[in-house]
């Protein structure tokens, strides 16, 4: 006879340090997971090591893929702080090309920009409205593992006063970012065969603050000895709408010069080369240059193990093609919440485990082939000669670039799309899963 799993306790019988699910980290992945779990009627404890509002290193740009997720959570874009954009402006090889976002039924036709300073709090507030319990300034140190079952049954943490405290739940979601203490403690480490990037950014007071296109610069040059080196990555200029522009760059680890680059100095040299009327000068800089790692292409697996689920950066879910993380973090959060909800409705631990093990398979089926294509893409652009050729001959071809935009932003109709959609979807299905 199979073991009967305990049913969730009624709220009045449960102490404040118990829950159906613990979510560690209240960034986009954690807050989205908590929102959908709470919407399903589960008792969710959301633990965040900082307090809101708080700054995060990000480009602040949201593609239509992310806008779709925000819309699904009932978030309105009518209040101040949101600025819409119509598409992507690509600059490289002497070419300046504006490409509108694809006109699709699956996704909205606009993107957004909003600083992470309060973006994450907007998501957290939605999760709280749905019923999630948020504990701020609660730093999780490690999972609690039941020695009999060898499963995670909670987490140890420090409360805002620095006192040790424990929280218990039959499932824990690790949304604790690139370093992911929980994953490391469980022996789930990063994979060296997956791409990694570094992003640095700052803000400048600029007349370009209300630009209605996201701007991407495909050529980043750095000085190596007595020669200029074309780096595998891109620079961006995103108008924030509040009088400032978010200006930054992302570099990939697909070149030998990756570890030797001083990213902050490179950003400084790049902005100094821009027209002075744009205002990207040291005296107009608002805040320091900050950097962060970009874990890509499922660089940490498995995404479920012994009661622990990984979402967002903890599972390396950033798109290798374009460095976008928020949309995939939110999508994975919704997928994880759906799997957990179905699992906790089962009556035995064996049945629950069978459902939970579907989570990594769903992620693989959804993104695996596309992320594999992204890994090949990262290797190609790591070749400076390929990059020179691509920018010189590819950018002037508008039809080719429309195809490239759809592929890099992962914006296609899943069914009955145009020829471009069918080619991209077909390639993703044929590629080995990541």
Dihedral angle sign, alpha carbons of residues 315, 321, 326, 327 = negative
- pLDDT tens digit sequence for 183-195: 999 999 999 889 8
Mean pLDDT of 195-206: 94
Taking all residues of the chain, what is their mean pLDDT, rounded to a whole number?
91
Q: Please, which pLDDT band fits residue 224 given cuts at 50, 70 and 90?
A: low
DSSP string, 205-225: E-TTTT-SSEEEE--EEEEET
pLDDT of residue 342: 98
pLDDT of residue 257: 62
pLDDT of residue 2: 39
- pLDDT tens digit sequence for 361-375: 999 999 999 999 999
Can you give the pTM of this predicted structure?
0.93
Q: Please, which pLDDT band fits residue 393 given cuts at 50, 70 and 90?
A: confident
pLDDT of residue 105: 96
pLDDT of residue 1: 36
Query: Per the structure block, which two tokens stand in for 73?
Result: 């959570």
pLDDT of residue 305: 97
Residues above pLDDT 70, as percent of the chain: 94
Neighbours of 347 (CB within 10 A): 11
Q: Is the pLDDT of residue 50 over 80?
A: yes
Tell me how far apart the alpha carbons of residues 31 and 116 are, in angstroms, rounded to a whole number. Answer: 13
Q: Is the pLDDT of residue 312 over 80?
A: yes
Mean pLDDT of 324-336: 98
Q: Which domains does the chain have, with CATH numbers?
A: 11-83+109-192+297-372 (3.50.50.60)
DSSP string, 344-401: HTSSBHHHHHHHHTHHHHHHIIIIIHHHHHHHHHHHHHTSHHHHHHIIIIITT-HHHH
Mean pLDDT of 327-346: 98
Tell me how far apart the alpha carbons of residues 335 and 9 are, in angstroms, rounded to a whole number. Answer: 24
- pLDDT tens digit sequence for 141-173: 999 999 999 999 999 999 999 999 999 999 999
Q: Is the pLDDT of residue 4 over 70?
A: no
Mean pLDDT of 322-344: 97
- Inter-residue contact 124 to 31 (CB < 8 Å): yes
């Amino acid at each position: 006879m199979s073991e009967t799993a305990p049913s969730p306790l009624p709220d009045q019988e449960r102490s404040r340090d118990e829950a159906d699910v613990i979510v560690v980290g209240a960034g986009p992945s954690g807050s989205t997971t908590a929102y959908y779990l709470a919407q399903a009627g589960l008792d969710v404890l959301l633990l965040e090591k900082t307090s809101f509002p708080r700054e995060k290193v990000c480009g602040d740009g949201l593609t239509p893929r992310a806008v779709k997720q925000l819309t699904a959570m009932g978030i309105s874009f009518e209040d101040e702080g949101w600025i819409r954009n119509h598409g992507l402006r690509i600059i490289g090889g002497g070419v300046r090309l504006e490409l509108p976002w694809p006109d699709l039924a699956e996704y909205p036709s606009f993107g957004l920009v909003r600083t992470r300073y309060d973006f994450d709090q907007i998501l957290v507030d939605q999760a709280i409205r749905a019923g999630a319990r948020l504990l701020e300034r609660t730093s999780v140190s490690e999972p609690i593992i039941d020695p009999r079952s060898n499963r995670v049954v909670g987490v140890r943490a420090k409360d805002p006063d620095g006192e040790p405290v424990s929280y218990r739940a039959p499932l824990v979601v690790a949304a604790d970012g690139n370093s992911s203490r929980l994953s490391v403690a469980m022996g789930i480490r990063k994979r060296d065969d997956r791409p990694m990037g570094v992003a640095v950014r700052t803000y400048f007071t600029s007349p370009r603050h209300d630009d209605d296109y996201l701007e991407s610069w495909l050529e980043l040059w750095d000085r190596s000895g007595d020669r200029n080196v074309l780096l595998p990555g891109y620079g961006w200029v995103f108008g924030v709408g509040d009088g400032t522009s978010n200006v930054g760059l992302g570099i990939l680890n697909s070149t030998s010069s990756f570890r030797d680059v001083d990213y902050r100095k490179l950003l400084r040299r790049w902005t100094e080369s821009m027209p002075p009327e744009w205002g990207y000068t040291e005296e107009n800089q608002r805040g320091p240059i900050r950097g962060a790692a970009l874990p890509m292409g499922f660089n940490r697996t498995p995404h479920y193990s012994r009661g622990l689920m990984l979402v967002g950066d903890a599972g390396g879910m950033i798109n290798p093609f374009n460095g976008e993380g928020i949309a995939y973090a939110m999508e994975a959060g919704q997928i994880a919440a759906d799997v957990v909800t179905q699992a906790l409705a089962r009556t035995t631990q064996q049945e629950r485990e069978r459902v939970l093990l579907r989570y990594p398979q769903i992620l693989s089926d959804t993104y695996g082939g596309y992320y594999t294509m992204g890994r090949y893409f990262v290797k190609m652009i790591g070749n400076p000669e390929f990059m020179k050729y691509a920018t010189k001959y590819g950018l002037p071809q508008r039809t080719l670039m429309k195809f490239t935009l759809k592929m890099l932003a992962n914006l296609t109709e899943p069914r009955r799309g145009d020829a471009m959609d069918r080619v991209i979807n077909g390639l993703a299905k044929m590629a080995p899963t990541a």
